[in-house]
Amino acid sequence: MSTEKFKSGFVTVIGRTNVGKSSIINALVREKVSAIANKPQTTRKIIRGILNSDNSQIIFIDTPGIHKPQHLLGEYMTNIAVNILKDVDIILFLIDASKTIGTGDMFVMDRINENSNKPKILLVNKVDLISDEQKEEKLKEIEEKLGKFDKIIFASAMYSFGIAQLLEALDPYLEEGVKYYPDDMYTDMSTYRIITEIVREKILLKTRDEIPHSVAVEIIDVERNEGKKDKFNINIYVERDSQKGIIIGKNGKMLKDIGMEARQEIEDLLGEKIYLGLWVKVKDDWRKKKPFLKEMGYVEEK
């Protein structure tokens, strides 16, 4: 029995869009918590990944990428990422090692400085894409453009490189505290929400650039069949008829492929066979319409 005091803490994972926040959280928790796709703004809501050890519990909060919003959904996404800065113990700021630090990264840094004085750790992700010489150049660029951090870690979510060093860097900032979640939990997302995220991820991975920002997924009902497979009926919302055609594909092939891959992953999650019904619906400019965003849980009532 360990005699160490139990420590816990909340860590927000923040950065501009498409720097690998979801991939890092999945690598830290060693489970698939967040949808991953090589598309900006994959994460839309706060997602918590929970890492349990004998003497600590760290709750990593995956936030939408901070960006200058162009519609109501984008405004919601940026606001929740910024607001969470005030409620966490540690800020984990991600940048892409392979790209020059730009105005987007500096925009995020300004939001951090304006909203929090908590410990700041910089995680330079995708380090597998640069050389040792470029690492030295990156450190100089960080100091010039972003300023000082409590710790800087080079990592690769793809290869889980730097994860141990990151956890070691976080430990001094955890405080003696309670266990917020049971040992067997790796996320606080409901099963139904995980299912919608699985379907949305398959769409992100398979469709063109014009689709990801314009798609929303909702479980409309679950048909329970005792002794037989349950059926999950899911609506996929897009903004234009042309997008509906892309998701359905020629002779329905794209939708069939999305459904097959999603169903296999959902069955692994549930530990049972299911039927999966996918329906594609057009909701014109839904990202700009507050009533629909509220219905989908993106905009909360005040």
* pLDDT at residue 36 tops 50: no
Looking at per-residue pLDDT, the higher value among 27 and 138 belongs to 138
* pLDDT at residue 95 tops 90: yes
Residue 172's pLDDT is: 94
Query: Residue for token digits 């897009």?
Result: 238
Residue 174's pLDDT is: 94
Closest by CA position to 7, among listed 170, 116, 120: 170
The pair of three-digit structure tokens given for residue 241, joined into one six-digit string:
């008829």
pLDDT band per the 50, 70, 90 thresholds, residue 28: confident
**267, 273 Cβ separation under 8 angstroms:** yes
Give the count of beta carbons closer than 10 Å to the beta carbon of residue 218: 17
251-287 pLDDT tens trace: 999 999 999 999 999 998 888 999 999 999 999 888 8
pLDDT band per the 50, 70, 90 thresholds, residue 208: low
Residue 294's pLDDT is: 76
3-class DSSP state of 63: coil
Query: Residue for token digits 């005792």?
Result: 226
Closest by CA position to 197, among listed 296, 108, 82: 296
Q: What mean pLDDT value characterizes the chain? A: 84
Residue 41's pLDDT is: 44
142-160 pLDDT tens trace: 999 999 999 999 999 888 8
3-class DSSP state of 27: helix
Looking at per-residue pLDDT, the higher value among 265 and 17 belongs to 265
d(CA 147, CA 144): 6
Residue 15's pLDDT is: 85
* pLDDT at residue 118 tops 70: yes
Residue 26's pLDDT is: 83
Averaged pLDDT for residues 199-204: 87
CA Rg value for the chain:
20
Averaged pLDDT for residues 175-196: 85
* pLDDT at residue 11 tops 70: yes
Beta-bridge partners for 58: 9, 51
pLDDT band per the 50, 70, 90 thresholds, residue 68: low
pLDDT band per the 50, 70, 90 thresholds, residue 177: confident
Averaged pLDDT for residues 70-82: 67
Averaged pLDDT for residues 226-254: 91
Q: Which residues contact 137 (CB under 8 A, 6 or more apart)?
A: none
* pLDDT at residue 299 tops 70: no
Residue 300's pLDDT is: 52
Angle of CA points 62, 163, 95, to nearest 5°? 55
* pLDDT at residue 100 tops 90: yes
* pLDDT at residue 84 tops 90: no
Residue 186's pLDDT is: 84
Looking at per-residue pLDDT, the higher value among 38 and 16 belongs to 16
Closest by CA position to 40, among listed 54, 57, 24, 22: 22
* Least confident window among 245-254, 265-274, 292-301: 292-301
Angle of CA points 25, 26, 32, to nearest 5°? 140
